[in-house]
Amino acid sequence: MAPGGSPDPRIEKGLEDVVENVDEYIDPQDGSRHQIDSTTKLDPHGFPLSPQPSDFKDDPLNWSPRLKLSVLLQVSIMALLGPFNAAEPNPSLNLLSAAFHTPVEIVTYSTTTSIITGGLSPFILIPLSHVYGRRPVVLFCQLLVIFTHIGTAYTKTLGALIAVRAINGLGFGGMMAVGTPILNDMYFMHERGEKTGVYTIFVTNGAHVAVLTGGWIGQAAGWQWDFYYPALVTTVSFLVALFFLPETMFSRGPRFLEEKRGERTWKQLLWDFKGNMIPQRKLRPMDFMTSLIMLKYPSVSIPFFFYTWSWTFINILPAVSMAKIYASVYGFKSGTIGLCTGIPLIIGCLVGELTGGRLSDYILLRRARGRGGIFKPEDRLYLTFLSAIAGPVGVGVYGLQVTSTCLYAYLSDCYRPQTPESAVLMNLSRGISFVVGFFWPTMVANIGYAWTWGSLAIVLLLCWTPVGALMIWGEKWRLRLGPPTFHQYN
């Protein structure tokens, strides 16, 4: 069996005639052509693997499926804990309002502040992970989240609450942003849709799981336990990562592979922090700006734009508004608010993923077969239209899950070595979403709930139109601009 997993019977059939006629393959990132010979490693469908793995066993691309799955689940749970840590207190905002003698609309600033810092921290943490490794950054971020949550429970003033939660956001932003580079280190192009889908379903559901527990915990034990509890959950994640999350950073650069001597053991992957560093990489001031440089590429800036507003209107708006709506309109208490908010959103995400990851891979491979084995990342974008129409018809979180999976996989397919920089921007998208907390109360006061939600749904539909242009002209734009010149080998 070729590396990369078991064949999918839906797309295995009929590919043999294509593979027999393929003697070269085209790199989807820069359009370069490569001859297929006896050393070329193929995927289960007979196409050349992208990227080509090295011959070293400690190359994450060569790890066993069981080890990859273990790492995937760990980083996915860490990604879930990002929005989970931000949203756990949301059903108890009324309790915080009473404790700090402040209107609910003002107390929500504690959540929006942590979202802002969570969106900004990866600009520092991702460049550090390029040089010092993914594992040290992940462990540091988890510890920061644990201690700041405990500190938040002891705050006595609203200013202190907002300040400590801002520091907390620095940590959970890093936990979320490092996950995508780790997945990119381990999986091939033909696997990314499904594996990214697993990851994004955790990311999207973090806030939804939080509101299920946050309301009942705050109602039964007081608002302080809405911070103690996520600290305990993050502690468990930290202990698991401490002993079972290996370093995934590996370079496919010719110089690195030529100079590499021997293979790292499991113990070294865990504890040899200096040995896991890549000698050719040095931290430069410019490294902290590379994520912003990626915005000049339409294949990055357009997904960034659409994902920002999808996440804002579909995920954050319910998180910051439902506590007030259910309490003022229906008289619900914190626990009931959590159930009414979380359960529908979780169901929508699960259904969305059934339409997202594997189907995205299927479309990619089917269309590649029709081109004689030539993959085009833009084929992943067809499913994003489901998000554009799902918002206006009232099942937005279903569409958000589909969009998250497709856009994350698309960015990795287009610019794999720069996936960490793309992940920073996607994390920034979630950080920018804080703006909805400042204008939704005013809109509701002026035009009511129905017109507010309806107008925002129409805005989201219009925001999809650049993605449609990317589906048509995206490949031409990518080839014209060429690949980025930094981090050419991840």
Assigned domain for 44 exists: no
Question: Residue 208: which region, alpha, beta or left (left: phi > 0; alpha: psi -120 to 50)?
Answer: alpha
Q: Which domain holds residue 143?
A: 60-248+267-276+289-481
Please report, rounded to a whole number, the percentage of residues in the chain having pLDDT higher than 70.
87
Whether this model's pTM surpasses 0.85: no
Assigned domain for 20 exists: no
Assigned domain for 11 exists: no
Return the pLDDT at 302: 95
- The CATH number of residue 472's host domain is 1.20.1250.20
Handedness of CA 383, 384, 389, 390 (dihedral sign): positive
Assigned domain for 41 exists: no
Asked whether 141 and 178 are in contact (CB, 8 A), the reply is yes
Report residue 353 as tokens. Answer: 């993923």
pLDDT digits (tens, 9 = 90+) for 451-486: 877 788 888 888 899 999 999 999 999 989 988 887
The distance of Cα 3 from the centroid of its chain, to the nearest Å, equals 25
Q: Which of 249, 320, 241, 315 is nearest to 278 (CA)?
A: 249
Report residue 460 as tokens. Answer: 């989201």
Is the pLDDT higher at 413 or at 92?
413
Number of H helices, E strands in the chain: 23, 2
Average pLDDT, the chain: 82
C-alpha to C-alpha distance for 464 and 35, rounded to whole angstroms: 38
Assigned domain for 33 exists: no
Assigned domain for 183 exists: yes
Handedness of CA 25, 384, 340, 313 (dihedral sign): positive
pLDDT digits (tens, 9 = 90+) for 371-398: 777 788 898 898 888 777 766 555 566 7
pLDDT digits (tens, 9 = 90+) for 359-375: 888 888 888 887 777 78
Please count the structural domains in the chain: 1
Half-sphere exposure of 143 (CA within 13 A, CB side): 7
pLDDT digits (tens, 9 = 90+) for 398-422: 777 788 888 988 998 888 888 888 8
C-alpha to C-alpha distance for 41 and 416, rounded to whole angstroms: 18
Side chain identity, residue 366: R
Assigned domain for 26 exists: no
Please name the residues in contact with 145: beta carbons below 8 A apart, sequence gap of 6 or more.
81, 85, 168, 171, 172, 175, 230, 231, 234
Assigned domain for 281 exists: no
Q: State the DSSP code for 88.
A: T
Confidence of residue 320 (pLDDT cuts 50, 70, 90): low
pLDDT digits (tens, 9 = 90+) for 127-138: 999 889 999 999
Q: Compute CA distances 220 → 216, 288, 300, 323, 481, whole Å.
A: 6, 44, 45, 17, 57
Q: What is the mean pLDDT of residues 27-53?
A: 68
